[in-house]
Amino acid sequence: MKILVIGASGFVGNSLLKRLIDIENIEVMALSRKIEKVSEDFEDSKNISFQKFDLCSDNFSVLNFSPNIIINLSSTQPFSDQMTWDNFLEGNVTTISSLIDYAKSEKIEKIIHLSTSSVFSSSQSPINKDTLPSPDNYYGLSKLLGENLLRISRLRSEFDASVVVLRFPSIYGDLHHAGL
């Protein structure tokens, strides 16, 4: 099985690679804009290869890899008040469109897409399986649009991959950049 991990240098990506390292019959291609540090951490791995890749500007055609599964962990997150709608649109919506085009061309079997509970309003509490998304910020809106692009493309049978969207409220732990 071949797995493409997008956003490999982030906290979740690094944690996932630790779980996938040296598993027999799995070949992993790890992509990130900041690949240097994470590739050093796994330089002895027999089944993980690394490539510097910016989902916003690079084209999937440069990859010499045909995965069965794509795990998309990449995200443009609200790290400052200077972030604009255009930042979130490019990083969380336009990139999904590129990912869908790639899934069509490569006959991907499964896409696992990491999203966020920010697709819900901060006033929506408690959140359960019946709660409808209602974002109250650009980040949440862009992540919801990315999810919906995947859903609609799948409903229109534009690609055959099954799609799983995981919405996490907050992720933290060892090596998390926020210092929690």
pLDDT the model gives residue 144: 98
Phi, psi of 134, deg, nearest 5: -155, 75
Q: What is the pLDDT of residue 179?
A: 46
Q: Provide the pLDDT for residue 176.
A: 57
| Mean predicted lDDT score pLDDT of the chain | 91
Residues 42, 13 contacting (CB under 8 angstroms): no
Whether omega before 78 lies within 30 degrees of 0, making that bond cis, reads no
Backbone angles phi, psi at 113, to 5 degrees: -120, 125
Predicted pLDDT of residue 180? 42
The answer to whether 95 touches 55, Cβ cutoff 8 Å, is yes
pLDDT digits 0-9 by tens, 87-111: 999 999 999 999 999 999 998 999 9
Dihedral angle sign, alpha carbons of residues 162, 144, 166, 125: negative
Assign 107 to helix, strand or coil.
coil
**Which regions of the chain are under pLDDT 70?**
172-180
- Taking residue 101's Cβ as centre, other Cβ atoms within 10 Å add up to 16
3-class SS shares of the chain: helix, strand, coil, % to 5: 35, 20, 45
Q: Please give the Cα distance from 13 to 23 (Å, whole number).
A: 16
> Given this model, what pLDDT does residue 174 score?
61
From 11, 16, 12, select the one nearest 3 (Cα to Cα).
16
Give pLDDT tens digits for 54-69: 988 999 989 989 999 9
> Are residues 20 and 48 in contact, defined by beta-carbon separation less than 8 angstroms?
yes
Cβ contact 55:74 at 8 Å: yes
pLDDT cut 90: percent of the chain above it: 67
